[in-house]
Structure 1
Amino acid sequence: MAAVGLVLPMAEEGESHFPPTPGDFWQPMFAIPGTEYFFTRPMALVLIATVALMVWLQLTTRRAAVVPGKGQWVTEQVYNFARNGIARDMIGSRDFMRFVPFLFALFTFILLNNLFGIVPPFQNPPMARIGFPLGLTLIVYVVYHWVGLRHKGGVGPYLASMLPSGLPGWIKPFILLLELITFFITRPLTLALRLFGNMFAGHMLLVVFIVGGWYLFKTFEPGLMLVAIPAWILGAMLTVFEGLIQFLQAYVFTLLAASYIGGALADEH
């Protein structure tokens, strides 16, 4: 039952935190001196993920060998997945290598932060806070537009590349407007909201079944206590399913980032 206190703050006497409200997800740890801002629990988890990845990569690659050890083998498998399964497939064999470090870092960072949603004692995915997906999306946004501008040779050619060839002149302004909305608004918005929405919804489902089961159990009424058991079983099953979703969302986010970079490098629309 320790997970209950980690997911939601315990209620005061006569007060209930079920069902959860948005206020239950505000988890400040301490105030930043001299400011009105707070260092929050999701920030701490992002920091832990960053340090953990740095340490893991250092430990598994500092003595790289032709015959890899277990740690090096795991790192190589993840790297090869990002290199061959994402970067090369989406960007193309000519240009993909220079973007592999970026895509590998993006994939592993999102994946580890997502997995914090089901790994004790964290059980709280930082990507369920909209600010973190927005920050990652902003990085991807800047990268693929910068790549496109450099590859096409300036703003004019870059905008012209968004238009399919052979269009009548009168329709080009309308198509360009739609393409600008897609490239500059729709893509970044959906990229961020997809990751945020899936992580938030999955976390809420786990909270409902696990914490809801706990509230049923602590009523000490035999009928409700029995109902808590299938709630916890479903919570355990959803935890396994959520792990799959967390991997898929890290993969989809990185895959789309690579797709946008590949599109920026394409010679034709």
Structure 2
Amino acid sequence: MFPSCREHNGPVLIASPDGGMDIEEVAAKTPDRLLTLPIDIHQGLTDDVAGQVADFLNFTGDLRSKCMQEVKNIWNMFLGVDATQIEINPLIETPQGHVVAVDAKIQFDDNAEFRQKDIFGLEDFSESDPREVDAASHNLTYIGMDGNIGCLVNGAGLAMATMDIIKLYGGSPANFLDLGGGVQEHQVEHALRILTSDKTVKAVFINIFGGIVNTATIASGLIKVYNTTKIEVPLVVRLEGNNVDEAKRILAESGFPIETANDLDEAAKKAVAAIS
């Protein structure tokens, strides 16, 4: 199994002869049955490492070299498909004397989609939340939740803080929607349409801290939605950072019923009060 591991700043090979078991349980109860080998990304998976794996998995004789080759093949695939993890369970000896990976789970790096178009083109969206699929098509990150206050935020950390403070004041977030750092006006429009089309959303809390993001771009995107779509839920906006004075001017002169706030605390209270 090849997961990418922060602890080792790179890929790690994990092997155990106890096939079919929960690997976390093996690590906790019988750590001696678990082999963990960090892989130097520049050096790659060497014969020495592959040999250690084969020995630990009890492949002997001719099967040892076959296991080593299979492990190296898996490593090459890990690199070739831009995987973040390949889990093989089990790796077996066949009656014909071959070493075969019978089953596998593979996770791919979303950031490598431009290199792996054929792989990502096979993705099945039939069981996915259509809102998540819709958002992803515009390079937005959306996760639906059970609450009734829609959240439109830039940055995962700020999104988590926004959801926490909504809960603090007695509200319940309806989603996690991250605009990201390089957001464009049309993405703001689309994000707001996703939120306001959700019948469970009774208010929308927009919380933007503009570092890379130009807050005036956010404001202009919001006004465009109001000009083309009937918004029937309260909108609470807190903008701070890059070009914020221009952004506030755009909102103030729009004539639309947009509630603004000067800080996160005030904005959260207004968002919760809007549905009380």
Q: Could you tell me the TM-score, scaled by structure 2's length? A: 0.23
Structure with more strand by fraction: 2
Q: Which structure has the greater CA radius of gyration?
A: 2
Q: Could you tell me the TM-score, scaled by structure 1's length? A: 0.23
Q: Which has the higher contact order (CA 8 A, sep 6+)?
A: 1
Structure with more helix by fraction: 1
